[in-house]
Amino acid sequence: MEGPFAPDPEERLPMTHPIARHGRQKSPRPLALVARFALVAAAVVGVSGAAFAGFATWSVTSDVQTVALAGETVGELPQISAIDGGVNLLLVGSDSRQGQGDAYGETEGNLNDVTMLLHIAQDHSSATVVSFPRDMVVPIPSCPDPDGGSFDAMSAQPINVTLSYGGLPCTVLTVEALTGLSIPFAAEVQFNGVIEMSNAVGGVPVCVVDPISDEYTGLSLEPGTHTLQGADALAFLRTRHGVGDGSDLGRISSQQVFLSSLVRTMKSSATLSDFGKLYGIARAAASNMVLSQSLASPDTLVSIALALKDIDLDKVTFVAYPGTTGGEGVYAGKVQPLTDDADVLFAAIAADQPVITADPANTGVGAVVDPNAPATAAPADSTAADAADASAAAPATPADPSTGAADTSANAATTATALPQSITGQTAAEYTCSKGNDY
């Protein structure tokens, strides 16, 4: 197939070991970019509890399908108030074209195109969003087979095969093993929702510093600021060859340009006061999602939204799991994880500490700091050096091993953890621009 949404041949690289494709429960099989809209951006904006409750009640009862995670049971439903304690929620999306119309081609399979972990601190003062490169090679644990029994563990596979191997529960188990965190909430979302949600919010302004051209997605942007919605927003979020060095690491940092702008747009008074926009966003999310049973309750969705609504923009941090390219053996053409550096990130998350990158300019190969950023968009007052000194003086409070929850007593450390240089990212308060392909 040719055209703006033709499959990219380099997006489907051979696995290091063959994997049989197994059947799954019928469900939409989508792209996690939509979940970012629904459960990161829409929730962070702080819609009123009553309004979001109405959206969630309608969406869950009318459209959303659910899947049970490994060992998941449904407990007592929370009240309509901010959820008690912290939250770990995995957002997963597939590159499946099933049920998405003719625009995306007829490619077989169901790989998780995007895998992203949202952590909300127990005191609801910060949130961290970690993107996992789709081509990163990791161990995959034994996963439940939707048809009964289980699949064998594998020592080295790209993380994006987990959705085809054992569905959403397998992706959750893999990320839990990789991070050491317990993840009770998960969502899977789809391609068309990106278009619907970007239309519902009225478009997202995106800064571009040099030309972006990608024949695989059909995206062509000149330098400047573009308000993207519809198919253009989807093409921007999908482009890999058009930004940075053409790697998924570059795509993640370019996506963070969009996401931070989206959160700022959603925080604007124009959006918050427009009931029609809020309803449209919720409806678009609901019709393009598969939720873990733990998220199926409207009360739970509202409680998570309320936990996020008052977090300052400079305390909403997007980072990428650190990795390198150019390896050999199973890592040839893939991303090799830097686990020691990643351990610093996940120790901070387990201890409920906010995180900051080592340098405000450390935005990744697909993004740069916007040279025309408003003065009010400066990062938080504390610098990375200050945070590093404070962290050394006040070590991270260990998490409760039974729950993964950090100590919230008066002795708990709350200073931001300065991350290793290999971990790139930005906060929602920082204005950045996407870099065109320079390879």
Query: Which residue from 404, 383, 319 is spatially nearest to 128, judged by alpha carbons?
Result: 319
Q: Is 326 exposed, middle or buried (0-12, 13-18, 19+ CB in 10 A)?
A: exposed
Mean pLDDT, range 117-126, rounded to an integer: 94
Band of pLDDT at residue 78, cut at 50, 70 and 90: very low
186-195, 227-236, 355-364: least confidently modelled range: 186-195
The predicted-structure confidence for 51-62, as pLDDT tens digits, reads as follows 444 444 444 445
Q: Using the predicted structure, report yes or no on whether residue 69 has a pLDDT greater than 60.
A: yes
252-266, 278-292, 417-431: least confidently modelled range: 278-292
> CA 263: distance to chain centroid?
13
The predicted-structure confidence for 130-148, as pLDDT tens digits, reads as follows 999 999 999 999 998 888 8
Q: Using the predicted structure, report yes or no on whether residue 25 has a pLDDT greater than 50.
A: no
Residues 115-133 as b or e (16 or more Cβ within 10 Å = b): bbbbbbbbebebbbbbbbb
Structure confidence at residue 398 (pLDDT): 41
Query: Which residue from 352, 354, 357 is spatially nearest to 411, judged by alpha carbons?
Result: 352
Question: CA neighbours within 13 Å on the CB side: how many for 142?
Answer: 5
With pLDDT > 70 as the criterion, what percentage of the chain qualifies? 63
Structure confidence at residue 238 (pLDDT): 85
User: CB under 8 Å to 58, separation ≥6 — which residues?
Assistant: 282, 283, 286
Q: Using the predicted structure, report yes or no on whether residue 31 has a pLDDT greater than 70.
A: no
Return the residue matching tokens 């393009």: 288
The pair of structure tokens assigned to 20 is 């049989």
Band of pLDDT at residue 196, cut at 50, 70 and 90: confident
State how far the Cα of 129 lies from the Cα of 83, in Å rounded to an integer: 18
Q: Using the predicted structure, report yes or no on whether residue 407 has a pLDDT greater than 60.
A: no
Structure confidence at residue 43 (pLDDT): 41
Q: Is 327 exposed, middle or buried (0-12, 13-18, 19+ CB in 10 A)?
A: middle
Structure confidence at residue 275 (pLDDT): 55
Band of pLDDT at residue 6, cut at 50, 70 and 90: very low
Q: Using the predicted structure, report yes or no on whether residue 405 has a pLDDT greater than 80.
A: no
- Residues 175, 179, 180, CA angle at the centre, nearest 5°? 110
Residue 128's beta-bridge partner residues? 119, 317
Residue 117's beta-bridge partner residues? 90, 130
| DSSP letters for 217-269 | TTEEE-SEEEEE-HHHHHHHHH-STTBTTSSHHHHHHHHHHHHHHHHHHHHSH
Amino acid at 48: S
Structure confidence at residue 350 (pLDDT): 95
The predicted-structure confidence for 271-316, as pLDDT tens digits, reads as follows 655 656 665 666 666 666 777 787 766 567 667 777 777 889 999 9
Q: Using the predicted structure, report yes or no on whether residue 376 has a pLDDT greater than 80.
A: no
